[in-house]
């Protein structure tokens, strides 16, 4: 009897220690303290308009690990979008920067998304306010899956990238749109050197993305200072125009 009770106590303590050590993904952010602006950004996620980054998965195709050639173009546009969110029970307008992503597979257009970001001052954290999505098949829009907007249907701003103080192990929600978009980020690598067609980069970081909407699914992204995203899964940056 004494051993059984002791075992139960020890097991209970062990489970409590495991739970205490597990780091949750942050989903509550101090947006009420932010002065949001649609420019600036952090060293790893710039919002100043004009930059275009081109990606493809040619290496993956050449190695026989990808069945189709994929292309991605990311443009930091000059366009702004006003989004109204709830802050301390008040409606607050935020002007966000529109970042457009155009995706193709074997030369055919598959998706165009318009993503909305803003910089929190004075911290320089970059927040994600939603996206408009057009999914294409045979040149026609067939759905808008994954579209969401902060301030609507319970959605709130997530953090796409914290300021330059990159901390290993940091976890946070990038998208907070229940049941629609719930991407999460975890910092897993820093001080990395990356050599690509777009150039050679130092002091890069690695982020793993997951979502509770697709248990077990995982993607990896690399960002470099002054450039931003350079690797997204099998897609690698081949050119950056500033």
Q: Report which secondary-structure segment, H or E, holds 119.
A: strand 108-121
Mean pLDDT per 10-residue interval, the chain, length 242 residues? 44 40 84 97 95 97 97 98 95 98 98 98 96 98 98 97 88 98 98 97 97 97 96 98 90
d(CA 64, CA 71): 17
d(CA 129, CA 98): 10
pTM of the model: 0.90
Instruction: Let me know how many helices (H) and strands (E) the chain has, helices first.
Output: 2, 18
d(CA 133, CA 3): 60
What's the confidence (pLDDT) of residue 21?
Answer: 42
What's the confidence (pLDDT) of residue 14?
Answer: 42
d(CA 206, CA 194): 11
What's the confidence (pLDDT) of residue 165?
Answer: 74
What's the confidence (pLDDT) of residue 166?
Answer: 81
What's the confidence (pLDDT) of residue 4?
Answer: 52
d(CA 173, CA 160): 8
What's the confidence (pLDDT) of residue 242?
Answer: 85
């Amino acid at each position: 009897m004494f051993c059984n009770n002791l075992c139960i106590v020890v097991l209970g303590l062990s489970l409590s220690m495991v739970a205490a050590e597990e780091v949750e993904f942050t989903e509550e952010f101090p947006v009420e303290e932010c002065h949001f602006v649609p420019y600036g950004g952090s060293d790893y996620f710039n919002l100043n308009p004009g930059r275009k980054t081109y990606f493809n998965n040619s290496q993956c195709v050449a190695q026989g690990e990808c069945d189709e050639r994929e292309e991605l173009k990311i443009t930091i546009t000059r366009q702004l979008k006003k989004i109204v969110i709830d802050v301390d029970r008040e409606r607050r307008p935020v002007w966000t920067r529109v970042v457009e992503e155009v995706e193709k597979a074997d030369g055919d257009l598959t998706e165009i998304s318009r993503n909305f970001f803003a910089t929190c001052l004075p911290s320089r954290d970059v927040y994600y306010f939603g996206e408009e999505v057009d999914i294409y098949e045979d040149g026609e829009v067939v759905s808008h899956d994954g579209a969401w907007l902060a301030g609507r249907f319970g959605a709130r701003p997530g953090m796409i990238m914290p300021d330059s103080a990159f901390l290993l192990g940091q976890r946070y929600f990038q998208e907070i749109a229940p049941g629609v978009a719930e991407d999460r980020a975890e910092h897993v690598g820093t001080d990395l050197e990356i050599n690509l067609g777009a150039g050679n980069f130092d002091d890069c970081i690695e982020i793993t993305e997951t979502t509770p909407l697709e248990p077990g699914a995982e993607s990896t992204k690399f960002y470099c200072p002054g450039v931003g995203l350079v690797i997204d899964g099998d897609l690698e940056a081949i050119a950056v125009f500033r």
